[in-house]
Amino acid sequence: MHSKPHPSRKRPPLRQVAVGLAVALALAGCAVGPDFKTPVLPKAADAPYTETALPTETVNAHGDHVGPAGVGQRLVNGQDLPAEWWKLFRSEPLDQLIRAALEHNPTLDAAQAALRQAQENYNAAAGTTYFPSVNAQLGGGRQRAILSGSTPNEFNVYSGTIGVSYTLDLFGGERRQLESLMAAADYQRFQTEAAYQTLIGNVVTTAVQEAALRGQLEATRELLKAQETQLRIAEKQVELGAHPRAAALTQGTLVAQTRAQLPPLEKALAQTRHQLAVLAGRFPGEGGLPEFHLDTLRLPTELPVSLPSELARQRPDIRASEALLHQASAQVGVATANQYPQITLSGNYGTQHTVLPAMDIGNTLWGVTAGLTQPLFNGGALSAKRRAAEAAYQQAEAQYRATVLKAFQNVADSLRAIDADALALKAQADAEAKARESLEVNTRQYKLGGISYLALLDAQRSYQQARIGLIQAQAARYADTAALFLALGGGWWNHPAAAGQAGG
């Protein structure tokens, strides 16, 4: 049976210990090392994206086979990009596929898990940085005491202790380490956003690639059908003696060459479908994916273009690189603080009871201690670690500048591609129309005996090349429009969940 505490016993000065810890926390207000500031871009970053001015509107392309890809596009400088930018293509199947990918893609799931890990690492460090460590220890045992000339006595011993300890962060080493972990969490947050945008971009460009392959397959099959019809005519003419056998052989060779183009296109289409399935988090054999055709996509007529001065706050890769720079800056502070003394305060309070057959002896124990650790000699290791941390910061700074330059290059390249794609499509549309007209004229003349068979073959080849080139030019306009949206950052800052992050 345990005895109650004696009224005359004084409790340990736990209140004084708590006050002392609070005072110590208040004193730990400065942190050595550099205070991180968001990098300021040079004035050149405010200049236009391209060296020479771009037209504010692209040309229109007209033609029987051009479709929606031929519309003109207008660059709207300073207009913000919507978070769901892929909806500007006005394709419901594309929207559904992207939503499925965002929900089921394992790469995105892995990035989100890595973000949660970084955030919990920060939370764990924050708990030990801002609060003292409090531990309880309970113990109990049975002992035997044998005194000289007496009967052995067996008794129970019970103990309970509460210990409080805290390392004073006088020079900010722990806070700099916490700052480093916070920057690591920021880095992973922007890496997750970059993975999000990359996934969307991959789905869009893969869907466009599928549409382009379907268009090329359709054009090649139509051409093959026409060539096979021409081959039957040539063989009939050979039978009638109107043309030599060589004419039919030449046409047969052309048919075989065109037919040989089908398997590679079919393989590429199947592989593209497989890639779409994996992006959506499905197995390639599951099926259920929508089919994409160029004439079902709509080209955005207005292209929002962020101002150059805003790009660094909107690109996830730039923000991630900035977070790495912040982390490197904090590590300089950690290495600097390690060169200064560390003070640890600790206090404990506990009781111990010895239960004898006829009595219960209780003792109360408490103590307050303070310890100081000052590095005296370490062979220059701490100074070397600080210099290494400073070099790592310089490396991160250079990598940040490289990331910014690459981002501006991406936007400049995309803007030039937008203009060039429109011109290329117009040229291809004109070439396709002329090649088709030339083929029709040559076919009529050949039937009348006005031209040789070789002239007809040249017209067929020219039309085939022009038709395939037109389809590729159509696909390029869609793909490079998506590339521009990605180069501008993808509009993630306009998503409700990201409110305030673009400017922070």
Q: Supply the angle between the helices 173-240 and 453-487 in degrees, to the nearest 10.
A: 170
Residue 247, phi then psi, degrees to nearest 5: -65, -45
User: What is the four-CA torsion angle of 170, 171, 173, 174, rounded to 10 degrees?
Assistant: 20
Task: Round to whole Å and give the CA distance between 220 and 214.
Answer: 10
> Could you tell me which residues come within 8 angstroms of residue 227 by beta carbon, excluding any fewer than 6 positions away?
251, 254, 255, 258, 460
Instruction: Establish if 15 belongs to a structural domain.
Output: no
Residue 41 DSSP code: P
pLDDT of residue 6: 38
Would you state the torsion angle of the CA atoms of residues 288, 289, 295, 297, taken in this order, to the nearest 10 degrees?
Answer: 130
Dist CA 49 CA 485 (whole Å): 14
Q: Which long-range contacts (CB under 8 A, 24 or more apart) does 443-447 make?
A: 443/230
Longest dimension (CA), the chain: 139
DSSP string, 219-268: HHHHHHHHHHHHHHHHHHHHHHTSS-HHHHHHHHHHHHHHHHTHHHHHHH
Tens digits of pLDDT across the chain (504 residues): 333 333 333 434 444 444 444 444 444 457 888 899 999 888 888 888 998 988 999 999 887 778 899 999 999 998 899 999 999 999 999 999 999 999 999 999 999 999 999 999 999 888 888 778 888 888 887 777 666 556 667 778 888 888 888 788 888 888 999 999 999 999 999 999 999 999 999 999 999 999 999 999 998 998 888 888 878 877 887 777 766 777 788 888 888 988 999 999 999 999 999 999 999 999 999 988 999 999 899 999 999 999 998 999 999 999 999 999 999 999 999 999 888 888 888 888 888 777 776 667 778 888 888 777 778 778 888 899 999 999 999 999 999 999 999 999 999 999 999 999 999 999 999 999 999 999 889 888 877 878 777 788 888 888 888 999 999 999 999 999 999 999 999 999 888 776 555 555
Residue 19 has what pLDDT?
Answer: 44
Q: Are 497 and 89 in contact (CB under 8 A)?
A: no
Residue 485: which of 403, 385, 410 has the closest Cα?
Answer: 410
pLDDT at residue number 477: 96
Domain contains 41: yes
- In the chain, how many domains are there? 1
Residue pair 214/292 in contact (Cβ under 8 Å)? The answer is yes
Evaluate whether residue 364 is within a structural domain: no
Quote the tokens at residue 199.
Answer: 């996934």
Distance of alpha carbon 280 from alpha carbon 296, whole angstroms: 20
In a domain, 320, yes or no: yes
Let me know if residue 217 belongs to a domain.
yes
- Give the pair of three-digit tokens for residue 450: 């006005």
Q: Specify burial of residue 497 (Cβ count, 10 A radius: 0-12, 13-18, 19+).
A: exposed
**Residue 39 and residue 192: Cα distance in Å, rounded?**
22
Alpha-carbon span 457 to 230, nearest angstrom? 10
Q: Which domain holds residue 490?
A: 34-134+170-338+409-433+467-498
**Rounded CA gap, 303 and 299, in Å?**
10
In a domain, 279, yes or no: yes
Rounded Cα distance, 428 and 64, in Å:
12
Query: β-strand 74-77 against 302-305: which pairing, if any?
Result: parallel
Q: pLDDT tens for residues 112-139?
A: 999 999 999 999 888 888 778 888 888 8
146 lies in some domain: no
Exposure b/e, 60-90, CB count within 10 A at least 16 = b: ebebebbbbbbbebebeeeebbeeebbebbe
Q: Residues 6 or more apart from 311 whose CB is under 8 A from it?
A: 45, 318, 407, 408, 411, 488, 489
pLDDT of res. 23: 46
Give domain status of residue 178, yes or no. Answer: yes
- Dihedrals phi, psi of 13, to nearest 5 degrees: -75, 60
Q: Is the pTM of this model over 0.85?
A: no
Residue type, 483: A
pLDDT at 147: 60
Single-letter amino acid, residue 169: D
Alpha-carbon separation of residue 238 from 241, 247, 249, 443 (angstroms): 5, 8, 10, 17
Question: In which residue are the tokens 């409110």 written?
Answer: 499
- For position 260, which CATH number holds? 1.20.1600.10
What is the DSSP secondary-structure string of 84-150? TGGGGG--HHHHHHHHHHHHH-HHHHHHHHHHHHHHHHHHHHHHHHHS-EEEEEEEEEEEEE--TTS
